[in-house]
Chains A and B, each alone.
Chain A
Amino acid sequence: MRAPGAIKSALGAVMSSVGPYDRNGSTNGHKPYRYSAFDLLRHGFSQADWPRAWRRHDPKSSYDVVVVGGGVHGLATAYYLAKNHGITNVAVLDKGYIGSGGSGRNTAIIRSNYLTPEGIRFYDRSVKLYETLSADLNYNAMFAQRGHLTLAHNDSSLRTMRWRAEVNKLEGVDSEVIGPDEIKKLVPFMDTSEDVRYPILGALYHPPGGIIRHDAVVWGYARGADALGVHIHQNTEVTGIDVTGGKVSGVRTKRGDIATPVVVNCTAGWSTLISDMVGVKMPVSTFPLQAAVTEPVRPFLNPVIVSGTLHVYVSQTDRGELVFGASVDPFTSYSMRGSLEFTEGLAGHVLELMPSLAKMRLLRQWSGLCDMTPDFSPIMGVTPVAGFFVDVGWGTYGFKAGPVSGETMAALIATGKMPDLIAPFSLDRFASGSLMGEKGAAAVGH
């Protein structure tokens, strides 16, 4: 791996080769369309068609920036490139439909109560962006800040909760440790008795945490990016990346070759395969993460509940379904089939927390792929190949970081300067030993 200095100068070279951008916010001739209640009424009466949320294009022969991966990270990167930096000649490529990877498979939990100051600042910015996202994108992503409870079942996890609460407070993030009585008030269904196998000793309560409609985040960014002139190409699998003289020069896709000086790897599950195309090795292992959802029942659960000891997290959607997640499977795999053992263990753990849910029915299980790094933190920024950027290694916490990742990656690509928020997550930290300490807060930390 190269020294950081070499990477920085390589970056500068790329950015000068991209040339000056049109900063006037050109939208390539497209007139954005705004949704509103009035508009809904108008369409209700006229029953006229709505305009496409994003358009279809044939891939152009060249773009200023090509983003690989049409999930929340890729689309947000493209959106902020166009919106904040006026870089609109951008393509987002996805091998399937947009949001078909982790963005459409996660459990849509948003929070910022991490353990390290760096992690907290980063995710806090993401929460702030999520709070105004619906208005910014003119697309209601239905962010519900219902509060987030991380349960402690033993004194060591209670100590970690206190640690997180203290660091959170110093960083200005609303977090506190609460006791079983307060937990019971927030979640009447919770079994807070002392004579159970894993008694609940307390919880880290994080009021700004909550859930969001994950697909709507993807579609909102896609629509916003499209309105600013970004091209979204679905069913466009990348088959190779061309590097000329140590610099990215283009991507090959199943729909033809595209010349570009900048490629951003915003994939998950396949991130190592994309980086391999330019010979960049990353310390990433891919594990399946399973999730499941129940049939809907009337709302009874407001906050998001997480138990690291029992490896489970639970929330109830506005539709009434309970959404469950767990820790990653204990082995690396690209399989997304799901297992019976997962649902058995999951159901047992949910019932240990809330025994009265025994007659609720599990409706569907699925799984996604998580790219785990050694320190449970992402890899963001430049690589030894000039023009090849990465925003990968998102483990089980990528969705909640979507907006801030897009914003910072866009700033890095446009300005050539590494934003402070993501400087701790650079690829070269594995060479310099500046690992992040998020294992404790991120492992089952939904």
Chain B
Amino acid sequence: MSMRLDHRPGEVIDRQREFTFTWNGEEYPAYGGDTIISALAACGERIFSRSFKYHRPRGLLTASFLDPGCMVQVDDEPNVRGAHRRVEPGMVVSPQGVWPSLEYDVKSANGAFGRFLSAGFYYKTFIKPRRLWPVYRRMLRRFSAGGTVSASPAQDYFDKRYAHPDVLVAGGGPAGMAAAVAAARAGAQVLLVEEEYELGGYLRWGDEAELAALRALREEVASSPGIEVMPNSVVEGRYDDNWVAVMQRDLSHVEERLVKARAKTLVVAPGLIERPYVFEGNDTPGVILSTAARRLINLYAVKPGERAVVFSANESGDAAAEDLARSGVEVARVVDARRGGDIVRVKGGGKGVRAVECSDGAEIECDLLVTAVGWTAPTSLINMAGDRPVYNERAARFFSSHLPDDVLTCGGIAGDGTLEELIEHARATGGEAARRAAKTARRLRGGIPLESEAPPAEISELPLYEHPALFRGKTHGIVDYSEDVTSKDLVTAEKEGYDSIELVKRYTTVTMGPAQGKLESVNAVAIMAETTGRTIEETGTTVWRPPYSPVTLGALAGRIFEPVRYSPMQPWHEIRGAKPLVAGAWIRPDHYGDPASEVLNVRENVGIIDVTPLGKFDLRGPDVPKLLNHLYVNRWDNLEEGRVRYGVMCLEDGVVFDDGVTGRLGPEWYVMTTTSSGAAGVGEWIDNWLQTAHPGWRIHVTPVTTAYASINVAGPKSRELLLRLTEGVDLSPDAFPYMRVREGRVAGVEGCFMWRLGFTGELSYEVHVPAAYGLHVWETLMQRGADLGVGPFGVEAQRILRLEKGHFIVGQDTDGLTGPYDVGLGRMVKLDKDDFTGKPELAWQSEINGRLQLVGLQPHDGSLVPPEASQIVEGESEIVGRITSSRMSPTLGRSICLGFVAEHLTTPGTKVVVQLPGGERVPASVTPHHAHYDPEGTRQRG
């Protein structure tokens, strides 16, 4: 049955473009410009979903984005606003959460049991027996609302954009358009954001005079060069300093785009939202709002019914009655609320409205009831700007009470008036917005007034018309359509003690659905006020939170940007089949196939490892020793030029934070290295101290982690290899001993420095070369050392080498409570230094006993490697330590460990019990040193 009308003067459909789409498994015709729901309504469809709890049939209500009964599934996209989204050829649309079908839904049996499913019923039952609760819960979950997400949808594209408008106007109705034009004429760059597909607001479904006004305003906007119009876009949130989030929907190549705008002035002009009326049967298909009737008829040329009753308290209702009559709908009766008329209930059922019962006792048969009881001001944005909206009884809606200087309002949210009055007010507001934006711009430029400052504009206040306070009629009905919450539920909840608006919201879930209270909130507040005998103002509202309307995760995420760091030698590693290891920001080689032979090659010949991720800071200036003394627990004021020293950093709580080597390359020139994972943290730490506690220290700090490629050349033949490549450095043991740093040329590359130190326990040189030459130096080392047996080694081999040597790794062998005294570094802590980070805590740590200590551990069965995190236990289950590092040592041919043990177990030779993850317990002994290999360190000093 076609409900499509003849041409309407303001229609937005393109009758030349006719196509089909699928709804509920069947093909339907549509015109370009139709929404999913308008196309279906034009074909006589009236039911589009089932309600959340009672599974009652639901049809149109608002015919806008907010329409709670028009949520549908479109392909893989759940919860599409069918009364907003334009239908496209071939679109596959299906109803959500119905079973087995939209027409016959078995869960609608809930409707019959509705009297037992009062608000919060689930808190009162399913309590015992406890073992059945999971069964009940699965049953309850079947009633969850919403569409379906699929595990592997099409890859959709989302992105983001920044904008820096002088004036951002939220809302493209007549007031928003007029404000935008006035602001642009005053010289401002304006961003005009409109939720619907075209500008115009309610003028679009208006009479001829309104359509003429619409054309004039649209021309003004189009001819103002300073306005960027964003249709089908929503201002989602206003954050501090007018940081405004705008969501652009349905672009041709982007699903949704988040526009982040720093607006100098924000003009809030969202218009008004028509409020539903609460009475028995108010959710029956065929009960619609006056704006919905007018949208259907005038925008989409769809006849909303055949025989109508109109309940009107305002001009919108009167205009809807006229529209209905003009489009061939029989208007059986107009019930005028201004003359005391009221409706009591709607009778009907699964097929929709059958009759309306009026307060005078008349029962009128009809298939359509149009209500026009009043307006809700969408105060979310001004609420997010710090305003506490207050209720005005005369106008029966909320208004702003106190706005920050950079937020203004116009249109229905600011007051009433004729179209001319509202436009005039909006123009004044737009001009003032531009003036304030210019003032802000001057302030941002440095406060120099470049032109004489214009005085604030006089904005005359809008009148407030008297609106009848119609919220609930004589019967109970649905307040929140998405959540299936009735006014009876609210009353019941209040009597049960959930007696504030916040508690009743949480208990009944009223306003917690997809519309977030934009349709329901004021009715809920009014009903609470009625029940408690308080005024609406005393009852108050809940707090509006962003976003204004739901936004996709895709748009918020945008193009996910997770940068990765690679060393300049990465291509070489990849060609050699290195297994990648994710190490914080870096991807680096874990090994090249056989870590054990990489270890042996370092012990016997020479190996090279890419240690570029080591944190590196270039420190210059006379006060560098002060900084080092401050950050490290050991002493730094006597480090000679050409020397390097190992240091440990603690936080204020005395917990080991990072360690590394710092060398002195010149009189006032040092290079500090940190652990790879600690580099960013140490950088922030240095900045923090220099900027807050010691701004006077003369130090330049430059992070140079990626400016140098770093290669550790380790093994007994490392000197021999480097001799072949190095110029300008005497590598002989006497001239360049252990713990020294030298500058020179390596493989022909100037500006390299190297120090004799390493993690492996072998003779080794850590060579730092300008990053651009990293790959060259690496390849040269490999070529020139071929006869020496040079080979690359990765992180895994290095971990084995250092464990053989007993070096701990911060974060692996230490945890969030480990202090230097716990890992055998107590002697490094110089408590006689003036001050350093963590000193008071360390002074106290130095005196107490009873903390776990790091020790070397040797399992008695040398073929067994206890997994890291195996616990060391006593008795039944008392934990007295744990294994922090464990490996099979290729050098020693047996397993080796580091671990924490309780103080009474630290004596070398003490036998401890290690519990393996499977539960098996094995013996191990505490070793004399952390180092299992060359504890005297003769090899590295060679």
Chain A residues with CB below 8 A from B646, complex form: none
The CA of A55 and the CA of B115, in the complex, are separated in Å by 25
The CA of A312 and the CA of B335, in the complex, are separated in Å by 54
Q: Which residue of A lies closest to B244 (CB)?
A: A340
Stretch at the interface among B426-434, B552-560, B566-574: B552-560
Whether A45 pairs with B869 at a CB distance below 8 angstroms is no
In the assembled complex, the CB of A174 is this many whole angstroms from the nearest CB of chain B, namely 14
Interface string of A76-107 (1 = CB under 8 A from B): 00000000000000000000111110001000
Whether B140 pairs with A135 at a CB distance below 8 angstroms is no
Interface string of B527-564 (1 = CB under 8 A from A): 00000000000000000011100111111111010101
Question: Is A197 interfacial (CB 8 A cutoff)?
Answer: yes
In the assembled complex, the CB of B214 is this many whole angstroms from the nearest CB of chain A, namely 31
Q: What are 30 A-B pairs at a CB distance below 8 A? A: A44-B113, A45-B115, A50-B495, A135-B130, A139-B123, A142-B137, A144-B134, A155-B581, A163-B869, A166-B869, A189-B149, A199-B582, A215-B507, A294-B553, A296-B144, A300-B148, A318-B144, A337-B240, A344-B258, A348-B558, A352-B562, A356-B149, A356-B153, A358-B156, A358-B255, A359-B76, A363-B516, A375-B817, A433-B845, A439-B816
Whether A295 pairs with B915 at a CB distance below 8 angstroms is no
User: Which of A97, A215, A340, A361 is within 8 Å of B552, CB to CB?
Assistant: A361
Chain A residues with CB below 8 A from B917, complex form: 162, 165-166, 169
The CA of A318 and the CA of B145, in the complex, are separated in Å by 10
Whether B550 pairs with A363 at a CB distance below 8 angstroms is yes
Chain B residues with CB below 8 A from A215, complex form: 506-507
In the assembled complex, the CB of A113 is this many whole angstroms from the nearest CB of chain B, namely 14
Whether B514 pairs with A44 at a CB distance below 8 angstroms is no
Question: Is A58 interfacial (CB 8 A cutoff)?
Answer: no
Whether A352 pairs with B560 at a CB distance below 8 angstroms is yes
Whether A347 pairs with B115 at a CB distance below 8 angstroms is no
Q: Ordered nearest first, which 6 A-B pairs have the shortest CB separation?
A: A320-B144, A358-B554, A44-B116, A347-B556, A361-B550, A439-B816
Q: List which A154-187 residues lie within 8 A (CB) of chain B.
A: 154-156, 159-160, 162-163, 165-167, 169-172
Whether A359 pairs with B153 at a CB distance below 8 angstroms is yes
User: Which of A99, A318, A440 is within 8 Å of B815, CB to CB?
Assistant: A440
In the assembled complex, the CB of A117 is this many whole angstroms from the nearest CB of chain B, namely 6
Chain B residues with CB below 8 A from A160, complex form: 869
Stretch at the interface among B190-198, B358-366, B870-878, B927-935: B870-878
Interface string of B232-252 (1 = CB under 8 A from A): 000001011001010000000
The CA of A275 and the CA of B572, in the complex, are separated in Å by 61
Question: Is B147 interfacial (CB 8 A cutoff)?
Answer: yes
Whether B122 pairs with A295 at a CB distance below 8 angstroms is no
Chain B residues with CB below 8 A from A437, complex form: 815-817
Q: List which B94-151 residues lie within 8 A (CB) of chain A.
A: 97, 113, 115-116, 118, 121-128, 130, 133-134, 137, 140-141, 144-151
Chain B residues with CB below 8 A from A49, complex form: 492, 495-496
Q: Which residue of B lies closest to A141 (CB)?
A: B123
Chain B residues with CB below 8 A from A153, complex form: 582
In the assembled complex, the CB of B384 is this many whole angstroms from the nearest CB of chain A, namely 8
Chain A residues with CB below 8 A from B560, complex form: 348, 351-352
Interface string of B853-893 (1 = CB under 8 A from A): 00000000000000111110100010100100000000000
In the assembled complex, the CB of B10 is this many whole angstroms from the nearest CB of chain A, namely 30
Query: Given A43-B118, A52-B497, are A37 and B125 also a contact pair (CB < 8 Å)?
Result: yes
Question: Is B77 interfacial (CB 8 A cutoff)?
Answer: yes
Interface string of B501-526 (1 = CB under 8 A from A): 01100110000001010000000000
Whether B496 pairs with A135 at a CB distance below 8 angstroms is no
**Which residues of B approach A to under 8 Å, CB–CB?**
76-79, 97, 113, 115-116, 118, 121-128, 130, 133-134, 137, 140-141, 144-153, 156, 158, 237, 239-240, 243, 245, 255, 258, 260, 384, 492, 495-500, 502-503, 506-507, 514, 516, 545-547, 550-558, 560, 562, 564, 581-584, 653, 677, 811-812, 815-817, 844-845, 848, 867-871, 873, 877, 879, 882, 915, 917, 919
Query: Given A153-B582, A297-B79, A358-B557, are A167 and B879 also a contact pair (CB < 8 Å)?
Result: yes
Q: Which residue of B lies closest to A344 (CB)?
A: B556
Chain A residues with CB below 8 A from B546, complex form: 338, 340, 343, 364-365
Q: Which residue of A lies closest to B551 (CB)?
A: A362
Chain A count of residues within 8 A CB distance of the other chain: 103
Q: List which A122-167 residues lie within 8 A (CB) of chain B.
A: 131-132, 134-135, 138-144, 153-156, 159-160, 162-163, 165-167
Interface string of A259-290 (1 = CB under 8 A from B): 00000000000000000000000000000000
Whether B871 pairs with A51 at a CB distance below 8 angstroms is no
Whether B147 pairs with A297 at a CB distance below 8 angstroms is yes
In the assembled complex, the CB of B348 is this many whole angstroms from the nearest CB of chain A, namely 22
Chain A residues with CB below 8 A from B122, complex form: 140, 142
In the assembled complex, the CB of B114 is this many whole angstroms from the nearest CB of chain A, namely 9
Chain A residues with CB below 8 A from B848, complex form: 433
The CA of A348 and the CA of B551, in the complex, are separated in Å by 13
Chain B residues with CB below 8 A from A347, complex form: 553-557
Chain B residues with CB below 8 A from A170, complex form: 871, 873, 877, 879, 915
Whether A362 pairs with B556 at a CB distance below 8 angstroms is yes
Question: Is A253 interfacial (CB 8 A cutoff)?
Answer: no
Whether B869 pairs with A296 at a CB distance below 8 angstroms is no
Question: Is A57 interfacial (CB 8 A cutoff)?
Answer: no
Whether A156 pairs with B150 at a CB distance below 8 angstroms is no
User: Which of B79, B556, B879 is within 8 Å of A295, CB to CB?
Assistant: B79
Whether B149 pairs with A297 at a CB distance below 8 angstroms is yes
The CA of A282 and the CA of B514, in the complex, are separated in Å by 42
Q: List which A24-61 residues lie within 8 A (CB) of chain B.
A: 35-37, 39-41, 43-45, 47, 49-56
Query: Given A36-B125, A198-B562, A361-B550, are A295 and B514 also a contact pair (CB < 8 Å)?
Result: yes
Q: Which residue of B lies closest to A360 (CB)?
A: B553
Chain B residues with CB below 8 A from A440, complex form: 815-816
Chain B residues with CB below 8 A from A2, complex form: none
Q: Which residue of A lies closest to B488 (CB)?
A: A47
User: Which of A40, A132, A139, A351 is within 8 Å of B553, CB to CB?
Assistant: A351
Whether B123 pairs with A140 at a CB distance below 8 angstroms is yes
Whether B146 pairs with A197 at a CB distance below 8 angstroms is no
The CA of A234 and the CA of B502, in the complex, are separated in Å by 12
Whether A188 pairs with B550 at a CB distance below 8 angstroms is no
Whether B867 pairs with A162 at a CB distance below 8 angstroms is yes
The CA of A163 and the CA of B156, in the complex, are separated in Å by 40
Whether A135 pairs with B128 at a CB distance below 8 angstroms is yes
Query: Given A360-B553, A361-B550, A364-B516, are A299 and B562 also a contact pair (CB < 8 Å)?
Result: no
